[in-house]
Structure 1
Amino acid sequence: MFTHIMVGTNDAPAAKAFYDGVMGALGHGEGMLMNEGAAVLYRTETGMFMATTPRNGEPATHANGGTIGLFAASPAVVDAAHAAGLAAGGTCEGEPGPRDIMPGAYGAYLRDPTGNKICLWHMAAG
């Protein structure tokens, strides 16, 4: 359904440190700094994720109510990615654990250094 997701950042190297930790724990490779250090790109066989400074030169801000969900292969991967994100400058928006929204759901929430909200999400087969 998606080709890419892009979020704003005011500090691409800080975003890279945060997302390298999170994406690494999720089983993805290290990001690549691009555009003379103004953006970081993560690419998989199914799509791309990028954190970049806004092209209009204005400060990046996060979406009010916006959340980007990232697939995790197991609850242990959710836990690891959450810990990696905290260690790399993120803030907790919801501790890892079962979610009552759906049976078998397990998730955690983080904000990156710019304030973008991400969800680390695993759904048990059912």
Structure 2
Amino acid sequence: MLSHVFVGITDFERAFGFYGVLMETLGLRLKFRDDDACWAGWMPADAARPLFVISRPHDGRPATVGNGQMLALLATDRATVDRAHAAALAHGGACEGPPGLRPQYHADYYGAYFRDPDGNKLCVCCHAPDTTSATQIAG
């Protein structure tokens, strides 16, 4: 469905530190990093698309966040959601909702919400049932 997603950032090194750890946690691999152009992209380990790209906006104006916009990244299991959320917070992210079940979406929806260092809202979620233990409902 998607070819690529482009997220505007203001500080490349800070953003790369944040997204590099997050993407590694989710099992995505770095496809390219160009320090001169201040952009980088990640992709699934087993496919060329979709591509996730960070960069300063091409028009030269500052990156700003969209009101009501959010990007949800898929995790293979709930433990990965937990690890991704922890990694995001440890690398400059801000919590927008701790990991947990969100039964208002569906019975197995397990997600965590946070903002990157530039304020872009992200979610990491898993749609699969938990096969390891009981999980709490997020409030």
Structure-1 residue corresponding to 2:36? 36
Q: Are 2:16 and 1:16 aligned?
A: yes
1:90 to 83, 90, 93: 93
Q: Give TM-score scaled by structure 2 length.
A: 0.84
Q: Percent identity?
A: 40
SS at structure 1 position matched to 2:19: helix
Q: Are 2:123 and 1:119 aligned?
A: yes
1:57 to 36, 56, 60: 60
Q: Which runs of 4+ in 1 moved over 2 A?
A: 29-33
Q: Which stretch shows the higher mean deviation, 31-40 or 114-123?
A: 31-40
Structure 1: gaps of 5 or more residues: none
SS at structure 2 position matched to 1:29: strand
The letter of the residue matching 1:25 is: T
- How far apart, in 1, do the equivalents of 2:5 and 2:28 lie? 15
In the alignment, is the contact (CA less than 8 A) between 2:30 and 2:43 conserved in 1?
A: no
Question: Over alpha carbons, which structure has the higher Rg?
Answer: 2
* Count, aligned residues: 125
2:73 to 63, 67, 70: 70
- How far is 1:35 from its partner? 5.7
Q: Give TM-score scaled by structure 1 length.
A: 0.92
